[in-house]
Amino acid sequence: MILMIDIGNTNVTFGCHDGTRTRFTARMATDRTRTADQYGAEMLQILSLNRTNINDIGDAAISSVVPELTEVLARAAKKITKKEPLVVGPGVKCGLNIKIDNPAQLGADLVCSAVGAAEKYPLPCLILDLGTATKISVLDADGAFLGCSISPGVVISMRALTSGTSLLPSLYFDRPQTAIGTNTVKSMQAGIVLGSAAMLDGMCAKIEKELGRSVSSVVATGGVAERIIPYCDREIIHDPDLIFDGMMSIYKRNRTNRKDKHDDQ
């Protein structure tokens, strides 16, 4: 199995992929003050909770949008696998035709999700990544990455709303019954959940208008996707393992028949 680690601004998501599917996923809080030993110890505990034998983990791959933690998690992964992990980034073969102004600037998470979507779903395709930021990526009919939109994520918006106003309470997601809230909490939940869903529907429609055609599939991933997409009007596929599936494809492109320099030690 391969240890997969996706380092985001809010959470570090990791799990094990057997080459066909993700066996399990778990989340740790992103903490820039933690050491490799601390992250490694927590991952070992979670692996044990999921009844995963570390001797069955042969290598690791990392996607990161937090540069100061990339090396930290790489060292943690190396302590577990005894091998240098594959870090998705410039110079790594991904098989994705990136048509933005500077392809090297495309985040590793967007690269992985695009590779996964291009292999799994009909094209053209829109990828909704609902995490710290809300990102909508566009793949054309040939699987080329055309670009994306980025807006504040649902959790960021909620925190900004509650922290910047004295009378609005903190709340967590709930299922809003109507768009017209009858008290403060219901009104906020309607605005945050239904408003986010409406934004996704609207942005997808605008992107299709720019493309001059309807897309064949829309897929959503990310930590809050399952709480928002049920309220969207259009059909959206929820794929929580999309980034890991793409990362596994990239891993196979770069590490097939790999013999690590540590194997003989």
Give catalytic status of residue 6 as yes or no: no
- Identical fold at 2-87 and 103-246? yes
Domain ranges of the chain: 2-87, 103-246
Q: Which two tokens stand for residue 11?
A: 């959470």
Q: Which of 6, 31, 59, 109 is catalytic?
A: 109
Q: What angle do CA 68, 240, 156 make, to 5 degrees?
A: 55
CATH of domain 2-87: 3.30.420.40
- Amino acid residing at 72: V
Q: Which CATH class is domain 103-246?
A: alpha beta
Walk along the chain (265 residues) and give the pLDDT tens digit of each residue: 999 999 999 999 999 999 899 999 999 999 999 999 999 999 999 999 999 999 999 999 999 999 999 999 999 999 999 999 999 998 899 999 999 999 999 999 999 999 999 999 999 999 999 998 999 999 999 999 999 999 999 888 888 887 777 666 666 667 788 999 998 888 888 998 999 999 999 999 999 999 999 999 999 999 899 999 999 999 999 999 999 999 999 999 998 755 443 333 3
Can you tell me the distance from the alpha carbon of 172 to that of 131, in angstroms, rounded to the nearest whole number? 15
Q: How far is CA 49 from CA 40, 43, 106, 187, in A?
A: 14, 10, 34, 39
